[in-house]
Amino acid sequence: MSTLSTPARPRARTTPYAALTAQVQEAGLMHRRTGHYWGRIAATTAAFAAVLAGAYLLRDSWLVLLTAAPLALVLTQYAFLGHDGAHRQIFATHRGNEWAARIFAALLTGLSYGWWMGKHNKHHQAPNKRGTDTDIESDVVSFHPEAAAGRRGLLRWATARQGWWFFPLLLLAGLNLHADSVRTMVLGRSGKRRWVDTALIVVHWAVYAAALVLVLGPGRGAAFFGVHMAAFGLAMGGAFAPNHVGMPIVEREAKVDFIRRQVLTSRNISGGWFVDLVMGGLNHQVEHHLFPSMPRPNLRAARPFVQRFCAEQGIAYTETSLPRAFADIAGYLNEVGMAARDPFRCPLVSTLRST
C-alpha cells in the first residue's frame, strides 16, 4: 500500500539582511523601551526646570549667560527625543509617536516636525546621495567636488579652506535650522498638520521672547539668545556632522544596494554613556540606518550583530573616536574644496572597488 505525503514547500529565499533582522528580533532588540523613554523624558524635564530656575535666580546679573549653553544642551536632548518619536521608537502607536515628536520638536525645540520628517526621510532613503539627500546640498559648505567646482572668487578661496571654517559655522547652524523650518512652513511644504506645527512653534517663540524681554531685559535677553543659539548649533551640528560628513558620496546615477548604501555612507563614534548622551544615540549611526525604528537604548546591543554581519559580507564598517571623526571631516572638506580637478570621480565607487 502506498501512502500519500504532502510535498514539502520550497523554502523561501532568505536574504542576508532578512537573516540579520531575524537575529536582532530574536534578541528582543526591536521591542519598545517605553519605561526607559519615560525616565529619559523625566530626567530631561528636570534638567530643563533646573536651568530655568538658575536663569531666573541670575536674571539681574550678566552671569545669567552661564545658563544659556546648558539650556541649549537640554533643548538638544528634547530634539533627540523628537527624532526618536519621528522614527516610531518611543511608543507602540503611530499617533503616540507623532504627537511626542511634535511636542518635543515644535513646542519645546521650536523646529517643525513636518519639515524635519520631509528632509530626514529623504536622508534615510538615500544617505549621501546627490539629488536626494538634501543634507549634502548647501550654499555654504561644499560636500562634494562638483559643488566646489562652481565656486568663484572669495568664495572659492574660502571653500579651499572650508574644513577649518566648518566648525565655526556650526555656531550658526542653530539659526539656520530654525530659518529653514520657518521657511518651509511659510511655503506650505512642511507636510500634513502644518497648522499644528505652526501653532506650537508660535507658542514656543512667544514664550521664549517674552521671557527674554520681561525677565532679562532687552540687552541681556539679546546676549542670552545669541549664546543660546550658538551653543544649540554647536550641539546639534556636533551630533549630526560626524554621522556622514566625510563618508562616500553616491552619485545621482549610481545604483547601490540597501545594505551598502546604509553602511558605507555611515560612521559610528566609539565611546561610552557620555557619547551616547551628547550624540543622542546617533553615534550608533550604522545600526540606526539599518534599523531606524529600533529604540535608542538597544542600538549598542545591536552593534556586535551588525559588525559580525558586515565582516561576513565583506562590507567595511566604520567606527572611530569623536576627535578622529572631526579631524577626518576637516581633512575631507579641505580636500573637496581644493579638488575640483576631477569632478567626475565617484567616491563610493572607489570605496566599493577597494572592498
Please tell me the distance from the alpha carbon of residue 5 to that of residue 331, in angstroms, as a whole number.
66
- Cα 209–chain centre separation: 27
Beta-carbon contacts of 213 under 8 Å, excluding residues fewer than 6 positions away, are 221
- What integer pLDDT is reported at residue 344 of this predicted model? 44
Q: What is the mean pLDDT of residues 158-165?
A: 86
Q: Among 277, 322, 316, which Cα is nearest to 300's?
A: 277
The residue assigned the cell 518619536 is 85
Give the three-state DSSP class for 295: coil
- What integer pLDDT is reported at residue 4 of this predicted model? 37
Residues 296 and 244 sit within 8 Å (Cβ to Cβ) = no
Cell reading at 197: 506645527
Cell reading at 6: 504532502
pLDDT digits (tens, 9 = 90+) for 261-279: 999 999 999 999 999 999 9
pLDDT for residue 204 is more than 70: yes
Beta-carbon contacts of 92 under 8 Å, excluding residues fewer than 6 positions away, are 32, 34
Q: Which residues pair with 269 in a beta bridge?
A: 320
Please tell me the distance from the alpha carbon of residue 124 to that of residue 342, in angstroms, as a whole number.
28
- What integer pLDDT is reported at residue 214 of this predicted model? 96
The residue assigned the cell 529653514 is 180
How large a percentage of the chain has pLDDT more than 90? Answer: 71
Please tell me the distance from the alpha carbon of residue 24 to that of residue 20, in angstroms, as a whole number.
6
**What is the residue extent of each domain of the chain?**
16-354
pLDDT for residue 246 is more than 80: yes
Name the band, by pLDDT with cuts 50, 70 and 90, for residue 326: very high
Q: What is the mean pLDDT of residues 246-270?
A: 93
Give me the count of residues in the chain.
Answer: 355
Q: Which residues pair with 319 in a beta bridge?
A: 268
Cell reading at 287: 545600526
Please tell me the distance from the alpha carbon of residue 190 to that of residue 123, in angstroms, as a whole number.
16
Q: Residue 132 CB: number of other CB atoms within 10 A?
A: 16
pLDDT digits (tens, 9 = 90+) for 12-44: 457 889 999 999 999 999 999 999 999 999 999
- Burial of 238-269, coded b for 16+ CB within 10 Å and e otherwise, reads bbbbbbbbbbbbbbeebebeebbbbbbbbbbb
Q: Which residue has the higher pLDDT, 350 or 289?
A: 289
Note the pTM of the prediction, 2 decimals. Answer: 0.88
Q: What is the mean pLDDT of residues 112-117?
A: 90
Cα dihedral sign, 212-217-222-225: negative
pLDDT for residue 191 is more than 80: no
The CA-atom distances, in angstroms, between 327 and each of 166, 242, 278, 293 are 11, 10, 18, 30
The residue assigned the cell 529623504 is 122
- What integer pLDDT is reported at residue 141 of this predicted model? 87
- What integer pLDDT is reported at residue 190 of this predicted model? 64
Q: Diameter of the chain by CA atoms?
A: 100
pLDDT digits (tens, 9 = 90+) for 282-312: 999 999 999 999 999 999 999 999 999 999 9
pLDDT for residue 349 is more than 60: no
The identity of residue 23, as a single letter, is Q
Q: Write the burial class of residue 289 (CB in 10 Å: 0-12 exposed, 13-18 middle, 19+ buried).
A: buried
